[in-house]
Amino acid sequence: MRTARGGERTVGFATGGRLRLLCYMTAWSDWQPLLVSPPFTTTTLAETLDGGQAFRWHRQAEGAWLGIWGDCTARLRVDDGGGPLEWSAPAEIALHVAAALPRYLALDVDYAALMDALPWRSDLQLAACLDAWRGLRLLRQPFGETLLCFLCSATKQIVQIKQMAELLAARFGAPLVERVDLNALDALGLAPRGGDKRVALHRLPTWPELAAAREADLRACALGFRARFISQTAQFLAAHPGWLDATERLPYAAAKERLCLLPGVGEKIADCVLLFGAGRYEAFPVDVWIVKAMAHRYGLGGWTPAQIAHFGRGHFGAGAGLAQQYLFASERAAGRRNLSPNR
């Protein structure tokens, strides 16, 4: 595999007072097309990677995305001309990433069949959302990481959850490879300032690593009251080896029941973990966006989240979680339009 040229680069940042930094660039593999590629557009790729399922993808220059999951990091990009998804990874782990990408992108899942099984024929609201976001997919993220990120998510916006994840990774997570991209770090406000100019990409901490951390140090990652939940969950998991892996393998209802035993995990977070981290497509997480969407698209105003979840699983069936993600994307887009009308 040929690789791009690594080595020192001098880079100017647009923000932060146009300082110039020396950074050591890890050599990245050339862009490779995915052999079996989902039909992403730039919009649906962005919504898939940065629409609230995952919290460690960062937009780079020229529409590429830099992401980290498990012990992998990759860049992804797509042409809007209908070309395949392309990926690139640090040369020293490129083979490993190539082997991990299909699972992360859930390429083994028969999406066409799942989508077709949704009640779009009789549900015009759903049909419109599926059409508007054609190509949007659900990721299959590492189970433990998904749990961690959604424990951070309570009453937080996506940008803030991403910030918590970055702080957790930087403070407690193992370094993956030497420093890669600069735009991403800059966007995070984590661009190196003075001293050692080399910065590594870090994975999220594992649960054993979190169990070894003190709650006070977790709080320093801007977690607020979530730090106690994460700490208590880490202690529980440390006291019950194999519990999380066993939970991931359970059927949906049993797995959800077990996840809800963890401190800080209620129905919504359990459903998110199972949908985005275990491929349980019958999970139907109900957050404020879904409450709004179901109220005005399905006339369910005044319903409780539990009632809406029950309706959603019944109405949408085995792929309810997929329907949820399309409704979620549509509702958030509508919210953005109302905030900034383009005139």
Partner DNA sequence: GCACAGGTAGATT
Partner DNA sequence: AATCTACCTGTG
The nearer residue to DNA, 68 or 227, going by C-beta atoms, is 227
**Type of residue numbered 255:** A
* Residue that the structure tokens 């997570």 belong to: 173
Q: Find the shortest distance in angstroms from Cβ 193 to DNA.
A: 17
Taking phi over 0 as left and psi of -120 to 50 as alpha, with beta for the rest, 86 belongs to: beta
Comparison of 34 and 230: residue with beta carbon closer to DNA: 230
In our burial notation (b when 16+ CB lie closer than 10 A, e otherwise), range 169-191 reads bbebbeebbbbbbbbbbbbbeeb
Q: Which of 287, 172, 152, 147 is nearest to 228 (CA)?
A: 152
Give me the amino acid identity at 243: W
Among 103, 228, 258, 310, binds DNA (CB under 7 A): 228
Geometric angle at alpha carbon 193, from 190 and 197, rounded to 5°: 95
CA distances from 284 to 119, 129, 328 (A): 15, 16, 11
> Min. distance of Cβ 173 from DNA in angstroms?
19
Q: Which stretch binds DNA (CB under 7 A): 15-23, 93-101, 125-133, 216-224?
A: 216-224
Per rule CB under 7 A, is residue 153 in the interface with DNA?
Answer: yes
- Answer yes or no whether residue 322 interacts with DNA by CB under 7 A: no
Least distance (Å) between residue 270 CB and DNA: 6
Q: Judged by CB under 7 A, which of 266, 296, 314, 318 binds DNA?
A: 266
What x/- string results for residues 229 through 248 when contact with DNA is judged by CB under 7 A?
A: --------------------
Kindly report the backbone phi and psi dihedral angles of residue 140, in degrees, each rounded to the nearest multiple of 5, phi listed first: -115, 90
CB of 7 to DNA, least distance (A): 32
Binding to DNA by CB under 7 A, coded x per residue (else -) over 294-313, reads: ----------x---------
Calpha distance 290→303 (Å, rounded): 11
Q: How far apart are CA 323 and CA 281, in angstroms?
A: 9
Between residue 59 and residue 88, which ones bind DNA under the rule CB under 7 A?
none
What's the CA gap between 70 and 143, in Å, rounded?
Answer: 9
31-60 binders of DNA (CB under 7 A): 51-53
Q: In angstroms, rounded to a whole number, what is the distance separating the alpha carbons of residues 277 and 273? A: 5
> Does the footprint of DNA cover residue 328 (CB under 7 A)?
yes
Among 19, 22, 253, 288, binds DNA (CB under 7 A): 288
Stretch that binds DNA, among 31-39, 78-86, 110-118, 260-268 (CB under 7 A): 260-268
- Considering the complex, state which of residue 22 and residue 306 has its C-beta at the smaller distance from DNA: 306
253 interacts with DNA by CB under 7 A: no
Among residues 93 and 282, whose Cβ is nearest to DNA? 282
Which H or E element spans position 161? Answer: helix 158-172
Using the minimum distance from each CB to DNA, give the nearer residue, 52 or 279: 52
Contacts of 38 (CB under 8 A, 6+ apart): 85, 105, 107, 111, 135, 137
| Closest to 37 measured CA to CA, from 90, 1, 87 | 87
Distance separating alpha carbons of residues 51 and 55, to the nearest angstrom? 9
Least Å from the CB of residue 26 to DNA: 27
The token duo for 100 is: 């991990």
Least Å from the CB of residue 225 to DNA = 3
In the complex, least distance from residue 28 CB atom to DNA, rounded to whole angstroms: 28
Q: Applying CB under 7 A, what is the total number of residues that bind DNA?
A: 39
Residues of this chain that bind DNA (CB under 7 A) = 51-53, 153-161, 163, 219, 222-226, 228, 260, 262-270, 272, 285, 287-290, 304, 324, 328
